[in-house]
Structure 1
Amino acid sequence: MFYLRLVRGYRVVDLGRWLLTATAAAVVAAFLLRALGRALSDPPGAHSAAERLLWCLPPLIAVGWFAAIAARALPVHRAERIAGLRAAGAGPRRLRLLIAGEVALACAAGALVSLLLFLVLRNDIAGPVLAPELGMGEPLPPAAPIALVTLLPLVGGIAAALAVPGRDALPQDRSAPAGAAFGLPRVLAAGLLTAGGTLTELYALRPAAADDPRPLQLPADLGHTNALLFGGWAAAALGAALLTGPLLAGVGRLLALGRPGARRLLAGRGLTGLAPRLSAPLAALALTLAVVLTAVRHWVAPGASGTGPLPAAEALLVTGCALAAVVARLTELRAARRPVGETLLRLGSSPQLLAAATLLRWSLAGLVLLATGGLTAVLGAGMLT
C-alpha cells in the first residue's frame, strides 16, 4: 500500500526511471528463461548449463549497476519525499530499505512480465523457430523459472540498498577536494595502463608473435587470442577507464587557470566539483563502449563469421544500462546544483552565461569520455585476431 501511494506522486522522471528498471529486468529475465529453455531442449552434454548462465551475467551486472545509480539519485531528486518520511519517523535504515523495496518491485514487475510471456509462448503458441529457445515439448520444472525470476528483484534490491548508505539518507553537501578524491585512483589507473600497454606491446613484438597459436577462444565469435595478451588488454582498459575521473578534474583545473572569464571559471570549477561523483558512471560507460565497439569491429570485419542475435542484444542492453546510469547521475547532479544556479541568478548572473558555462562543461566532459573510451577501444583492436 505504501508503494501504491508513492506511485500516485510519481513525476515523469520517476515513472521513466521505474519503467527503465522494469524493462531492463524484463530483458535479463528473458535471457535467463531462454537459457532454461535451451537447457531443456538441447540433448544432454551438448552445451554446459554454466556457460549458458554465464552469458546472462554481464546484463545482470548491468541491471544491478543501473539500479544502484537510480537508487542513489532518488534522495537528491525527491528531497521532499525523503524529508517527509524522516519527519514521519523513518530512520536512515528504514529509508534505505524503502528505496531498495521500490527498486526491487520494479525489477519484479519486469521479471514477471517476461515469465508470463514465456509461459504463454510455451502453450503451443510459439513457432518452430522459438520452440528450441522455450524448451517446448519438455516438462518444465516449477522451481526453475521461479528461482531465475526471483534473482532479478534480489539483485536490484541489494544493489539499491548498498548504494544508499545511511549518511546519504538526506540530501547534503558531500563536496570533497578533487585532488584528495583522485589520489589513489590516479596512481592505480596510471599503473594499470602502463603495465597493461607495455605487456601487450612486448608480447606482440616478440620474435615468435607471428607463429603464436593463440589458444584462448573468445565467446560470441570474437576469434582467438592469448591469455597473457588478454590480461594485458584488460589491465590497460581498466586503467584507461579509471583515468576518466582524474582527467575530468584535471580539465576543470586547466580551464580555470590564469585569469579566466566568468564562463570559463564557472565551467572549470563546476567540472572539478562534479568529477568525483561523475567519474564512476563515466568510467563504466567508457569501458562498456570500448568493449562493445571492439566486438562490433570484429563482427563487421571482412571474413568474420556471423554472430547470433543474443550477443548483439546483450551488448545493446549493457550499453543502454551504462548510458541510463550516466543520465540518472546527471539528473541527480542537476537537482543538487539547482540551488547554486538560483543563487547565481539572484546575484545578477545572466541565464545566457549559466547556459554557456553548462554547455562548455558538458562538452569537455564528452571529450574526456571519447578520449578514454577511444583509447580503450584502440587497445582492444590489437588483441583480437
Structure 2
Amino acid sequence: MEKWKDVSAEHWQNWRWQLKHRLNSIEDLEDFIDLSPEERQGLRAPHHFRVDITPYFAQLMDPTDVNCPIRRQVIPLGRELQPFEGMMADSLAEEAQSPVPGLVHRYPDRVLLVVTPHCASYCRYCTRSRLVGDFHQSLSLEALEAQLSYLRNHPEIRDVLISGGDPLTLSDDALDHLLRQLRAIDHLEIIRIGSRVPIFLPQRITPELCQRLRQFHPLWINIHSNHPKELTDEVALALARLADAGIPLGNQSVLLAGINDSVEVQRQLVHKLVKHRVRPYYLYQCDLVAGAGHFRTSIAKGLEIISNLQGYTSGYAVPKYVVDAPGGGGKVVVAPQTLLEERPNHQVVLRTYRGDPVIYQEPADGY
C-alpha cells in the first residue's frame, strides 16, 4: 500500500513497530481510505474508549467501501454514541464479581484475570470498553500479587483465563513471569489465554514467544476472529506457530450486524478456521455494552445461522451460540429446538438437521 511503501520488511514484521505506528485519527486514516461523513463524525467525537489500528490490520481495509467488514470493526461511527434500550456500562457485572482488582470469579472452579488494559487494536463493540485503552493504567506488581494470593487461597479454582485488554501485548518476559507464577500453584490444572493479537498483530507470534509458551502446558488459547477476510497468510503463519507449539486453539466470534450475520460468511469463517487448526468455540450474541447498539442482531438471527451450519458442515466447525447473561449470570447456550415431543410410551420425537421428525425409543426403565 502506498502509505507504507517505504517501510522495510524488517520494520513491518516487527510487532513493536506495528504498535508504535498505529492509526487513530482522521489525518492518519484519510491518507489511504475514503472516510465517510459518519466515520469522520465518529473519529471527531469524544470516545468512551480508545481508537487504535495497527498498520497491518488497516491495510486489510477496502479503501472505498464504507461497509468493509474490517473497517466496520475498528473505525468508530457517529451512531456509537447513541444510547439504546438495555444499555449498560458493565453489562456482565464483572466489577460486582471481582473480589480483588483485576480478577473476576463468576463460576465455581475458574476465574478470569485482567492483566492489562492494552490491546493491539480496539474493537468498537468491546465488552470492557469502560476499562481498556487507558495508557495511564497498567497492572502493578501489588495487584498481580493480590490476584495470585487469591488463587493460592482458593483450591477450588482449577482453571484460569488470562484476559485484558490483550495479554499477548505483554512482553515475553512479563508473560513468562506471569505464567511461571500461575504454574507454581498446584491446584491450577489449566491456563487459558484469550487474545485477538493473532488477528490484529500476527507479527507478535514469534518463534521466541511460542518457545516460551510451550513451557507451560496444558495451555490453551482462544483467538477472536469475526470474518474470513481476517484470516490472511500472515495470520495463518501465526496460528501454525501456536499449533505447532502444542497449544490447542479455539475461536470466539461475536455476531455483528452487517459484518458476519449471514450463514455464508459464518460458513466461510468456520471452514477457514478449521483449516488452520482452530476449532470454532463460541459465537457470542453482542453484549448490551455502550457503543455497540448498531452491531446488535436478534437472537433469531443467531439461531438461523446455527441451524444452517449443523448437519451441513463438520461438527467440529459448528460453534456454540451463547448469550453472556446481562447482570453477570454467565453464559447461556442458545440452540435450535430439536426435542419436539416426549410421549408416554417412552418415545421421544426429535427433529433432524433437515427438519424431519424421527422417533427415538427410550428404555422402559428410564435409564
Larger Rg: 1
Which has the larger helix fraction? Answer: 1
Q: Which bracket does the TM-score occupy, shorter chain normalised?
A: under 0.3
TM-score calculated relative to the size of structure 2: 0.24
**Which of the pair is proportionally richer in strand?**
2
Higher relative contact order (CA 8 A, sep 6+): 1
